[in-house]
Structure 1
Amino acid sequence: MTNRHINKVAVLGSGVMGSRIACHFANIGVSVMLLDIVPKELNAQEEGKGLTLQSKAVRNRIVNHSLETAVKSNPSPLFSKSYLNRISTGNFEDDMKDIAQADWVIEVVIERLDIKKQVFEQVEKYRKQGALITSNTSGIPIHLMIEGRSDDFVQHFCGTHFFNPPRYLRLLEIIPTANTNTEVIDFLLDYGDKFLGKTTVLCKDTPAFIGNRIGVYSMLAVTHLIGQLELTIEEVDKYTGPAMGHPKSATFRTSDVVGLDTMVNVANGLYDNVPQDEAREIFKLPSYVLKMAENKWLGEKTQQGFYKKTKDKEGGTEILVLDLKDLSYRKQEKVKSPTLDETKKVDDLTKRMKVYEEGNDKAGELFRAMHYPLFEYVSKRVPEITDDFFRIDDAMRAGFGWELGPFQIWDALGVKDTLEKIKNEAKRLPGQTGEVAQWVYDMLEAGCERFYKIEEGKKKFYDIKTKSYQDIPGTEELIILDYIRENNTIWKNCGVSIIDLGDGIINAEIHTKMNTIGGDVIQGVNKAIELAEKDYKGLVIGNDGPNFSAGANIAMIFMMAVEQDYDELNMAVKAFQDTSMRLRYSSIPVVAAPFNLALGGGCEFSMHADFVQLHAETYMGLVEFGVGVIPGGGGSKEFALRASDDFKNDQITQNIFRDRFLTIGQAKVSTSAEEAFELGYLQNGKYAITMNRSRLLADAKAKALELANGGYTQPVKRNDIKVLGKQGLGIVYVGANSMMSGNYISEHDQKISEKLGWVMCGGDLSAPTEVSEQYLLDLERKAFLELTAERKTLERIQHMLTKGKALRN
């Protein structure tokens, strides 16, 4: 393979996708040039300033406005606002020549073949030999774009279909032509995976590629079934949401978010371009969807779609739902389903699929009506859209947020067991025969009863060509706990499993609800440290669940506090603190591997680890103020310690202290791994970011090994933490009082602030003094216990437990 490096990228087209693709490349440290067209006329503001069409501000107005809009959007396309300086802007007329510096040129202009060809003609003039050229089209055949282009252009050209928003959706479809150099294909698959953090899926140049072909089929199947099964919009979204392993937005809410016009355009495009598809009629939109499009009820962009946000009589927000009988909006009705109730009892999603399938109510009926035809459909798309069925599963998980792809669900229900059921359900949807593709029957005849199987800690797939199980390409380096847990678990309790990762590294996997930290987890983490110190080289704390940890088990704290069992609570908090300290002062290296939510205690564990190998999308914070307490697992102490380390003779210590104090006092949560560093939760030189979530545990293990083999030495406990005493308390008390007087915080917030200040200042010491970590931990624990004795704190905890959100009382 050519030793190819991507140092500079040119993105041509700055619309919704182009500007956000540019931002994502900036996220990974690449220099980006973003270009767009030159305006044809001045706007009123430009005329008022006396500008002309030759003024640079005018010529770059479109691109600058698009980028500004993207950066202001929520959620942000950038990991850190500071990364904006990695993007330069320009226009096609003045700056196209500068693409000669780019290692990769990405076209993201309007979806018109003639315009794309014009852009590529310009690209051909200026690009350097060997530079990659790709198109982000979602519908135009890739091979049509290269007509008339040079051999070097054609060999380095490919489709790269990012899903929107590019930072957050993991799917990146790679669509080569017959002329694309295999080195280019291999490079893009690898670069997208390791550098951009994507699930890269190799597609054939067929209409809508893989993700939208299957995803839109699945959504439109539901739009046809809803009438047959006499379901309501809210029923469908309840049945096809998280319980089914789909996103919260389910089916119709997803359409509102994406935009009904987008769904209509893709569906119409598919209907026109897949004349040989046996299920083509499914892409013909139901009359109610056409009427909604005609009425411009397109979803969030027009404030109404399948749902409509309004105000009730009291002025509160109310979300109405569309009644398909007369296309009027009405109040949502509560959805009840015995099948749904049964699914709640089953945490394992694979096993939950069987519960759904056997349901005797509308939820079960919809599940069967959706999935049996889907199994037939996806089986027949192989080899039309891909030679390897697992790529369909990859695309649906990464692009549509399904936890299980179609073939994984089929495996869960039993491939052989469903064949007769698929025949019985075929009448539901047009074009379905009930007969799956021949290769599925061949697979069963070859004695292979599943599409996937786990062998020696690796997931293998049934390979149609060899009629045998093969390793899934690109997964050889990954560590998936589900695949090794059975044979590699060396100890476990209700909250933690300790799993041998090999090479002398073990992993403490937390598996409580939301991975909250209670007694079982404290015991398990201590056991892991004990085992690692005795027989292994190092320890990783990580898991494959939805979140790293949502924090301490506040239900347990609430119960002890309500019963006024303060001795027990004191012991529990001390055990938590001692565990945090043991993570730091053990004789082996400890690497935390946080991702998604790493809040409260999850953040404190990470802050005390020797190293943090975290996913780029990590939302880390000390959020204890929201439940009326201060961080009690070492977090308050740790921020005092880090403030002390930041104190410099040439800096104003009060400002450093204030910033640290406010991060906890305002319960700031990072919106990315990089922002976690900016907020002080991570330390320079003690963290690294993994872009691809699938690679996190493997990267954490590699780091633990590196630390161990590099001669890890147990750190010495700190006795030199400079605290400000009364000098700092004055800042805290004056600030909290003024905030309370201005009605920015409540009286209870003021009390919590003063408790936090007391800890971080080391109490009311008469002058700045050096103290030990244990001294601060004792203050932290005392303040925490005193706050749990407050009625308003108990109200906050109870509100969080019952309502799932913070109470400001």
Structure 2
Amino acid sequence: MANPIKKVAVLGAGVMGQGIAAHLANAGVPSVLYDIVPRDLPEGAPRSKLAIDGIANARKLKPAAFYKPSLAELITPANYEDDGALLAECDLIIEAVVENIKIKNIVFDWVEKNRRPDSIVATNTSGLSLKAMAAEMSPEMRKYFLVMHFFNPVRYMRLLELVVGEDTLPEVADTVAEFGRGVLGKGVVFGKDTPNFIANRIGTFGIVSVFHHMAAFGMSVEAVDAIFGPAMGRPKSAVFRTADLVGNDTLAHVIETVHDGCPDDEMRDRFVVPDWLKRMVEEGATGDKAGYGFYKKSRDDKGKRVILVRNLETGEYAPKGKPRYDSLGKARNQESVKGKVRAVLNGKDDAARFAWAVTADTLIYSANRIPEIADDIVNIDRSMRWGFGWEMGPFETWDAIGVADSVARMKADGLSVPAWVEEMLASGRESFYARDAQGRLTYWDKLTSSEKLVPMSESWLILKDLKAQGKVVAKNPSAELYDLGDGVLGLSFRSKMNALDDDIIRLYIQALDELDAGRWEALVIGNQGGTAFSAGANIMMVAMAAMQGNWDELSTMIETLQTTLQRAKYSERPVVTAPWGLTLGGGAEVAMQSAHTQAAGELYMGLVEVGVGLIPAGGGCKEMLARYLGDIPEGTDYDPNPFVQAAYKNIALAKVATSAEEARSMGYLRPSDRLTLDPDQLIYDAKRAALGLVQAGYKPPHKRRFKLPGASGRAAIELFLYQMHEGGYATDHDVTVGKRLAYVMTGGDVPANTWFEEDQILELEREAFLSLCGEQKTIDRIQHMLMKGKPLRN
């Protein structure tokens, strides 16, 4: 390995440079952000103004580039003229200037004069030739030179494409790969020095194939996006909405890059910018950055916001339609991505035929790109999942629809199937991916015509693999218990959105029983796949019990949840939670009540029950008070009001943290809790944290008592509610819910500074929750959320 990367230089304070520097800060890595000294610099302005402005702009970006704004302090602004000496302090130098090879070479010449001899130099080019850039460098610098292609926005896009040159030292590539994955949390793939590398080459072909086929099938912009969205395992932005996000001028440039740079591509004639796209670029209809592109926001005669869509032939905009096809309807009824894709491609309507034409072309094209753009199918599939948001890569899709059947269909359509795919089938191998006798995931390697293990990091702990290896020790319809190894038990949810229900709690209790019996050293709670650790409790169960008047059943349900989560928090053996993605309501309560939380960097955590007319009742109110009051040293004389009010507002305003660091600043995570940026490493790190607690002789915490402000403190909060109501920010029912919450958080009708046990607060939680379940407006909110997927302001 080369020297460890502790400090990084980012050259260029534009959009990509800002994003890279910000994400380095998210990972705790200090950086120096360089740009030129402006020619028209105002008198008295700092000479590193462009870098300073770049950092300021990064702090304003939506969605946020930083986990929290204060992380910007890890970035040092600099300029090329005055700050060359700072470059020698950096272990990695990432060039992110404009995509112009002449300008890049000027920058690399400056780098060569100022860098430390052993520092690694990377270019963030999205498709320029590494060989052409390296040709202008000294032989020594070429050894440390490679491509690090980040995708924008850097924080949110997992893919990092690495391309090494003929002279790049293997240890340099290994160091950058481990830094990208282990420190930055990126999904690292290795591509080749070809135009647009892997993801943009395959992704762009998919787009030009849409262009090629849509006219023949009479497909409109909105029809294409309805088909090639979630129904086909693609992002909601689908094709044309994605183009608007990226920029239609950028799309046109990428298409031209392949056409000009790949003269031997068998599908080169597809990489031609359509006349209607040329007209859009000339007109300035370049997408979101211009305010309109394929889609355009407008208002109707009544002032209501509407989305208009462009007619590609006339250039005119009209209200967006809602295309309906039987195949898409069948796809919606499927639970799995595999089922959805099969439902569409096996359909009999125009949407199905169009989807098949594009998909067949894309699968064949992808197979023909090995080894041109990558050595194996794994790098291609990962590129499309991590870079384009596909739920299945091309070869995973091919497996999902059946390789043999789809090859027969392709040949019947007159398409030429790559010989190596037919050779694989002839060998008796029926799919690109399969499990071996030990349950390990393998892939078919074209270069050796043999089965190989899918490469995995040693720090990945994948639940699907454990399941295939027979490591599930118990399960029910909503949850599973896994043997994670080394005496650690794992609990994973698998209900819709991982919502808490009776089955999950039942298996959680079983897991705690196993711990108490001494059969396991520790318990880790985590899951993988989808978008949520847990989106909260199953509110349909709550609504049904309330509408039927089953108050005893509802009370027992809440008490069981409270007891289970308290038991986990105070277990003699450590319980470690591994939240990620949406961690809301009951999901947040599960995550918070543990010995330790190992959180994903991308964490969207909050107690949001007020949105459905309820308050947290699984210990959320109690735990929020514990986070704000529990660390005050015993014997300290303090006024609890400001602490209680801060905790109250988190819940009353349904504040959701948009990162793990923000969750820490809001009290959802403790100072001692830790972050993992690589989602596939999260459960591994949680297991390691659990074993660390065991080895350190873990003892559960003592239950704390809290001093609460009582009736006088509640009056102050109710004044806040009155002001919110008078200002039009809170409805009548918001006030009702807010008052019940205030009663719990302040301790009810007691004198100021009354001390409370945790169990007393839990009882107040439970009583308030049940009383709100009896409110018709709460039932209306729950039903609206279940039907519409968004809160009702009643």
What TM-score comes out, normalization by structure 1 length? 0.95
Deviation at 1:56, TM superposition (A): 4.5
Please, which runs of 5 or more residues in structure 2 have no aligned partner?
none
**1:676-714 CA-partner distances (Å, limit 9, x unpaired):** 1000001121x2111111111222222222223333334
* SS of structure 1 residue aligned to 2:510: helix
Find the counterpart in structure 1 of residue 780 from structure 2. Answer: 795
Matched-pair contact (CA < 8 Å) for 2:600–2:679: yes
Deviation at 1:198, TM superposition (A): 0.6
Deviation at 1:727, TM superposition (A): 4.0
Find the counterpart in structure 1 of residue 480 from structure 2. Answer: 497
- 1:444 partner letter: L
Moved over 6 A (4+): none
Write the distance in 1 (CA, Å) between the matches of 2:508 and 2:771: 27
Find the counterpart in structure 2 of residue 553 from structure 1. Answer: 538
Question: Which of 521, 525, 540 lines up with 2:524 in the alignment?
Answer: 540
Matched-pair contact (CA < 8 Å) for 1:373–1:422: no
Matched-pair contact (CA < 8 Å) for 2:708–2:753: yes
Asked whether 1:698 is paired with 2:681, we answer no
Question: Which of 420, 424, 430 lines up with 1:443 in the alignment?
Answer: 424
Question: Which of 739, 747, 752 lines up with 1:767 in the alignment?
Answer: 752
Deviation at 1:769, TM superposition (A): 2.5
Asked whether 1:484 is paired with 2:466, we answer yes
Question: Which of 326, 329, 343 lines up with 2:317 in the alignment?
Answer: 329
Find the counterpart in structure 2 of residue 526 from structure 1. Answer: 509
Find the counterpart in structure 1 of residue 99 from structure 2. Answer: 111
Matched-pair contact (CA < 8 Å) for 1:375–1:436: no
- 2:430 partner letter: E
Find the counterpart in structure 1 of residue 609 from structure 2. Answer: 624
Write the distance in 1 (CA, Å) between the matches of 2:282 and 2:472: 58
Matches within 5 A, 1:398-409: 398-409=386-397
Find the counterpart in structure 2 of residue 69 from structure 1. Answer: 57
Find the counterpart in structure 2 of residue 16 from structure 1. Answer: 15
Matched-pair contact (CA < 8 Å) for 2:233–2:340: no
Write the distance in 2 (CA, Å) between the matches of 1:783 and 1:143: 68
Write the distance in 2 (CA, Å) between the matches of 1:390 and 1:767: 63
- 1:507 partner letter: G
Matches within 5 A, 1:224-623: 224-425=212-413, 434-455=415-436, 456-486=438-468, 487-534=470-517, 535-546=519-530, 547-623=532-608
RMSD of the TM alignment (CA)? 1.7
* SS of structure 1 residue aligned to 2:604: strand
Matched-pair contact (CA < 8 Å) for 2:256–2:271: yes
Write the distance in 2 (CA, Å) between the matches of 1:117 and 1:219: 32
**1:230-288 CA-partner distances (Å, limit 9, x unpaired):** 11211111111112111110111111111101100100111111100000011112222
Find the counterpart in structure 2 of residue 185 from structure 1. Answer: 173
- 2:417 partner letter: V
Residue 424 to residue 298, structure 1, CA distance change in 2 (3 Å): farther
Write the distance in 2 (CA, Å) between the matches of 1:719 and 1:315: 54
Find the counterpart in structure 1 of residue 37 from structure 2. Answer: 38
Question: Which of 684, 689, 694 lines up with 2:671 in the alignment?
Answer: 684
Q: Report percent identity of matched pairs.
A: 40
* SS of structure 1 residue aligned to 2:451: strand
- 1:665 partner letter: A
Matched-pair contact (CA < 8 Å) for 1:377–1:436: no
Matches within 5 A, 1:652-801: 652-685=639-672, 687-716=673-702, 718=703, 720-801=705-786
Find the counterpart in structure 1 of residue 5 from structure 2. Answer: 6
- 2:677 partner letter: M
Matched-pair contact (CA < 8 Å) for 2:516–2:573: yes
Write the distance in 2 (CA, Å) between the matches of 1:358 and 1:616: 39
Write the distance in 2 (CA, Å) between the matches of 1:511 and 1:631: 22
Write the distance in 1 (CA, Å) between the matches of 2:431 and 2:551: 54
Write the distance in 2 (CA, Å) between the matches of 1:509 and 1:610: 17
Matched-pair contact (CA < 8 Å) for 1:725–1:766: yes
What TM-score comes out, normalization by structure 2 length? 0.96
**Relative to structure 2, which stretch is displaced further, 654-663 or 779-788?**
654-663
Matched-pair contact (CA < 8 Å) for 2:640–2:708: no
- 1:509 partner letter: S
Deviation at 1:150, TM superposition (A): 2.5
* SS of structure 2 residue aligned to 1:94: coil
Residue 520 to residue 304, structure 1, CA distance change in 2 (3 Å): same
- 2:784 partner letter: H
* SS of structure 1 residue aligned to 2:441: strand
Find the counterpart in structure 1 of residue 110 from structure 2. Answer: 122
Matched-pair contact (CA < 8 Å) for 1:446–1:467: no
- 1:387 partner letter: D
Deviation at 1:364, TM superposition (A): 1.5
**1:33-56 CA-partner distances (Å, limit 9, x unpaired):** 1111111124xxx4xxxx2xxx45
**1:625-658 CA-partner distances (Å, limit 9, x unpaired):** 1111111111011112233214464765322222
Write the distance in 1 (CA, Å) between the matches of 2:704 and 2:523: 26
Deviation at 1:719, TM superposition (A): 5.2
Write the distance in 2 (CA, Å) between the matches of 1:344 and 1:22: 40
Matched-pair contact (CA < 8 Å) for 2:569–2:593: yes
- 1:437 partner letter: P
* SS of structure 2 residue aligned to 1:101: coil
Write the distance in 2 (CA, Å) between the matches of 1:387 and 1:587: 50
Find the counterpart in structure 2 of residue 431 from structure 1. Answer: none
Please, which runs of 5 or more residues in structure 1 have no aligned partner?
427-433
Write the distance in 2 (CA, Å) between the matches of 1:151 and 1:744: 65
Write the distance in 1 (CA, Å) between the matches of 2:685 and 2:416: 44
- 2:23 partner letter: H
- 1:440 partner letter: V
**Relative to structure 2, which stretch is displaced further, 278-287 or 753-762?**
753-762
Write the distance in 1 (CA, Å) between the matches of 2:640 and 2:78: 43
Deviation at 1:167, TM superposition (A): 0.4
**Relative to structure 2, which stretch is displaced further, 19-28 or 355-364?**
355-364
